[in-house]
Amino acid sequence: MNDLLTVRDLESRFKVGGGLKSLFSPKTYIKAVAGVSLDLKEGQTLAIVGESGSGKTTLARAIAGMGEDASGEVLFNGQNVLALPKSDQKALRRDVAFIFQDAVSSLSPRYTVRALLLEPFQIHGMMPDDPDAEVTRMLTLVGLPATMADRRPHELSGGQARRVGVARALALGPKLVIADEPTAGLDVSVQGEVLNLLNDLREKLNLALLVITHNLNIVRHVADHMAIMYLGRIVEIGETQDIFDHPKHPYTAALLSANPTTEVDVADGRIRLEGEVPSLLARPPGCEFHGRCPFARERCTYDPPEVRTAPDGRRFTCHFPLGPDGTPTE
């Protein structure tokens, strides 16, 4: 199976500051995504995990060719998305679809579900011969009754609105679907419904799925691979089950152990992080995590760790990776 998506050293930056001052002083940028590399195959799911502000959404936008000031390489089907001329970007939109976080507000309140579902075809000048049949087909695909076609977004429940969002994303037969926090704000039962749907469709249509989330509980169930982001960099990436079993990066370990559960007495073995998340304007020297890392040593404060690859293919950036017992091995 070939990689559908290959990302190498992707950077995306934003200009900060403005007003009069910016006329006289050099421009300052923050790197929201700083050198990210990842691969995604057809029919697979990759979850990107990290706190708000860690660059997850910026990364996704850059992959979809919507990034601002992005550099590096995003190869989609062998073609560099970042170097695409404007005229070809529309074609890319057919292959890479986005499911937005807030399903209800991503649907125009003035449109009926039918109009919403036909909009992608209209934009791309691909209107099907029998629009009604197409709408029915799409609604059935996402498990909604055909009678939904006449409703407007406010008449849909949260779960239904998300299904319509999914149907819209799938309208033009994309190969890659990027779902930005597909379950944020949903309660657990509706959350399962949306994830099951995405998963079924992934199987049926052989889609590659990129899921952005900070909900670790769902990652474990839906993703083949996961990447953990911190300050715009991937600190660990590999097979989900491996990472859950033996996290190598201390941030991953802290993240996994902090996950609140309904079990009694798990709180004892937790790794508690001290300190604050550094600002992107003042990235710390050395390992950017050292200020909060419970295992940081002197070397971490000045020597930025390289990306290392474990025998099982897992990549991580840490000088002193954790062993199976949860303490640094070296």
Partner 1 sequence: MSVQNALEVRDLNISYKVPGGKLRALRDINLNVPRGEIVGLVGESGCGKTTLMQTILGLQSSAAVTESGQIMLGDTDLLTLRPKQMRNLLGDRISAVFQDPMKSLNPVLTIGRQMTDIQFRHNISQREKRDRAVEMLQKVRIPDPESRLDQYAFEFSGGMRQRIAIAMALMAEPDVLVADEPTTALDATLELTTIDLLRDLQQDIGCAIIFITHHLGVVAELCQSVNIMYAGEMVESGPTRAVFDAPQHPYTELLFNCDPAQIPERTRHLPTIGGELPSLINLPPGCVFEGRCPKAFGPCAEIHPRRVQSGGSDMVKCHLRDPEVPQ
> CA geometry: angle at 112 spanning 110 and 117, to 5°?
115
Closest separation between CB of residue 81 and partner 1, Å?
28
CA distances (Å), origin 156, targets 82, 105, 145, 179, 192: 37, 12, 12, 20, 18
Alpha-carbon span 107 to 132, nearest angstrom: 19
Pick 175 or 220: Cβ nearer partner 1: 220
The DSSP 8-state label assigned to residue 182 in this structure reads T
Closest separation between CB of residue 225 and partner 1, Å?
13
Identity of residue 138? M
Read off the tokens for 81. Answer: 């998305």
Closest separation between CB of residue 325 and partner 1, Å?
21
Pick 73 or 224: Cβ nearer partner 1: 224
Instruction: Answer yes or no: are the C-beta atoms of 225 and 46 closer than 8 Å.
Output: yes
Pick 123 or 188: Cβ nearer partner 1: 188
Pick 129 or 265: Cβ nearer partner 1: 265
Closest separation between CB of residue 255 and partner 1, Å?
5
Pick 131 or 143: Cβ nearer partner 1: 143
Please state the φ and ψ torsions of residue 292, each to the nearest 5 degrees: -115, -5
Closest separation between CB of residue 218 and partner 1, Å?
5
Q: Which residue intervals of the chain are DSSP H helices?
A: 21-24, 56-63, 86-95, 113-123, 131-141, 158-170, 188-205, 216-222, 240-245, 250-258
Pick 12 or 54: Cβ nearer partner 1: 54
Which residues form the interface with partner 1 (CB under 8 A)? 50-54, 157-158, 184-193, 195-196, 199, 214-218, 220-222, 241, 251, 254-256, 258-264, 267, 270, 272-273, 275-277, 279
Closest separation between CB of residue 199 and partner 1, Å?
6
Pairing relation of β-strands 96-99 and 176-180? parallel
